[in-house]
Amino acid sequence: MPILSPWRSDFPALAALAADSQTYLDSAATSQKPQAMLDALLGYYRAGAANVHRAQHLPGERATRAFEEARGKIARWLNAASHDEIIFTRGATEALNLLAYGLEEHFHAGDEIVISALEHHANLLPWQQLAQRRDLALIVLPVTTSGQVDLVAAKHLIGPRTRLLAVSQLSNVLGTWQPLSELLALANTHGAITVVDGAQGVVHGRHDMQQLGCDFYVCSSHKLYGPDGVGVLYGRAATLQRVLPWQFGGEMLLQTDYYTAKFRPAPLGFEAGTPAVSAVIALGATLDYLASLDGAAVLAHEAALHAELLAGLGARPGVRVLGAPQTALASFVVEDVHSADLAHLLTEQGIAVRAGHHCAMPLLRGLGLPGAIRVSLGLYNDSGDLQRFFAALDHALEILG
Amino acid sequence: MSALPAAAEQALETFSQPISWEQRARLLMAWGEQLEPLTDDERSEPNRVDGCESLVWLVGHFSEGHWQFRASGDARLIRGLLALLLVRVNGLPADELSTLDLAAWFSQLGLARHLSPSRTNGLQAVLTRMRELTLNAPR
Ligand SMILES: Cc1ncc(COP(=O)(O)O)c(C=O)c1O
């Protein structure tokens, strides 16, 4: 029985892409958007744009209220203890950079920062550069062949010198959930600050910040069916107090003279300059839309489609899937075929998948691969998409054979 | 402007016909197979072109006012694109090469998409390297 998505028609881009003969299987890079989000974006501009947190006039008041309501929606989506724990950034990458600069004071030569071997560049480079600036040791946790952080090694590598642990929740290359509760517990034992890169994880299922118990959690709106240009940094109130502002200007201050300033607490103290007002409001509309869906049905749909993807890949001789993907995506290579050639021929056939190193160069190098093809799913994908992908894959392999 | 080199003439004739994507891909691979192989020494780090998803090497020689390039790669379709590039540029006088519109050349062949900024196949990076080589060459 082919799997259909009851939500596909909520996303106008799917029909537009189909009219262009494009099959979109790259949602882990960015997602398509629901009509509700498009309406909110247009609705905001149509009704009158205004800056937030600075104008006394009616449009300003309205924009500020909608903006702050969106903050509340995210707080509820993540079950944060308070909406003051939600900071808007330009994306997950900026949120991680904010942390690497804002926490810099707490690091001293010889301290250790622990990440994992499968981190996206966004959760590697800010820490790598912080380590260089402050003469810290960057410790990289190895990953098992199935694609999880190796907990046995982690027990040895996370220790009393560990000041910070930064790991992703769901790998953007391997599609594997990481053993967060064990890793966070290890870090907590040693009083280390914990950062979770939820850029992929947030898209699949609801995650409860109070239950997860990390200090910081970052994600990007554009992967979660929201607009681009917005990211979210969740920070536990107590730990947020240890972060210093990193960008200065606009309304992030309480008072200033020419020579000194006093800054606002979180969240506004970390939101210097005019934020992406329209996009934040539209993200709120996306969350309303997502909250209106049957979450269990979405997860079941994604799981069934993912199983179909893995079965199809597994049935093709020569295809090697990287790790043991659990959710939403799978990366693969084909024996004796260059993934750049395969990507070329899939593109020719209107299959939109990602090829290359997926912003995880060291991970792929560690696997001895120059690149891989990644197929990733959104809640709007269906069996038809996978059938077109597999037909194109077979055709490409025949040409390259 | 001198006439198109004979091999370029032939490429143009082949690729400018209305052909399916599949024929085009097969033709590209066939052209790639005709690339003169590089020696192990030539497949060196300095000759490697950065910014390619696959490995690509480019070497250029300048003698008596003319450029002669050789190139290779580890992926088959990029080798085809390299072959189509080389037939257009090889043997040209330096001043002609410096004003040659290579994007237009690939457009004529129906391969313009391979130069789009979102492509990481490296053709654009190869053109950039070629430009650097020719600009830095002694005149
Ligand atoms: C795991 C992971 N972390 C971080 C990021 C960076 O997200 P953004 O580019 O939206 O800042 C991505 C996006 O690809 C990702 O997959």
Residue A321, min C-alpha distance to chain B (Å): 19
Q: Please list every residue in chain A whose beta carbon sits closer than 8 Å to the beta carbon of residue B53.
A: 339-340, 343, 355-356, 370-371
pLDDT attached to residue B121: 63
The answer to the question of residue B88 being in a domain is: yes
Give yes or no for residue B51 having a pLDDT over 80: no
A218 vs B19, residue with greater confidence: A218
SS (H, E, C) chain B: CCCCCHHHHHHHHHHCCCCCHHHHHHHHHHHHHCCCCCCCCCCCCCCECCCCCCCEEEEEEEECCEEEEEEEECCHHHHHHHHHHHHHHCCCEHHHHHHCCHHHHHHHCCCHHHHCCCCCCCHHHHHHHHHHHHHHCCC
Give yes or no for residue B133 having a pLDDT over 60: yes
With a cut of 70, list the residues of chain A below it in pLDDT.
none
Determine if ligand 1 sits within 6 Å of the CB of residue A342. no
Q: Convert A235-266 to b/e letters by CB count within 10 Å (16 or more is b).
A: bbeebbeebebbbeeebbbeeeeeeeeebbeb
Are residues B90 and B67 in contact, defined by beta-carbon separation less than 8 angstroms?
A: yes
pLDDT attached to residue A362: 86
Give the range of the structural domain holding residue B98, as residue numbers without chain letter.
Answer: 6-136
Nearest CA in chain A to B120: A356
Total domain count, chain B: 1
Are residues A45 and A56 in contact, defined by beta-carbon separation less than 8 angstroms?
A: no
Q: Which of A21, A336, A344, A353 to mutate to test the interface with B (most CBs of B within 10 A)?
A: A344
Domains of chain A from N-terminus onward: 8-25+294-400 (3.90.1150.10), 38-291 (3.40.640.10)
The answer to the question of residue B1 being in a domain is: no
B132 to chain A, any CB pair closer than 8 A? The answer is: no
Give yes or no for residue B3 having a pLDDT over 80: no
Determine if ligand 1 sits within 6 Å of the CB of residue A220. yes
pLDDT attached to residue A47: 94
Cα(A92) to centroid(ligand 1), Å: 6
CA distance A320 to A316: 9
Give yes or no for residue B128 having a pLDDT over 80: yes
pLDDT attached to residue B5: 84
Tokens at A85, concatenated:
């724990």
Does residue A359 carry a catalytic annotation? yes
Q: Any idea what the CATH number is for the domain that residue B12 is in?
A: 3.90.1010.10
Are residues A328 and A302 in contact, defined by beta-carbon separation less than 8 angstroms?
A: yes
Identify the helix (H) or strand (E) that includes residue A183. helix A180-189
pLDDT attached to residue B138: 59
pLDDT attached to residue B67: 86
The answer to the question of residue B14 being in a domain is: yes
Determine if ligand 1 sits within 6 Å of the CB of residue A85. no
Nearest CA in chain B to A401: B26
Cα(A126) to centroid(ligand 1), Å: 13
pLDDT attached to residue B94: 81
Q: How confident is the model at residue B139 (pLDDT cuts 50, 70, 90)?
A: low
Asked if A399 lies within 8 A of B25 by C-beta distance, the reply is: yes
DSSP A169: S
- Identity of the residue in A340, A348, A395 whose CB atom sits nearest the CB atom of B75: A340
ipTM of the complex: 0.90
Q: Please list every residue in chain B whose beta carbon sits closer than 8 Å to the beta carbon of residue A348.
A: 21-22, 25
Cβ contacts of A128 within 8 Å, gap of 6 or more: A138
Give yes or no for residue B122 having a pLDDT over 80: no
Measured distance between the N- and C-terminal CA atoms of chain A, rounded to whole angstroms: 31
Cβ contacts of A151 within 8 Å, gap of 6 or more: A179, A182, A183
**Can you tell me the mean pLDDT for B65-71?**
89
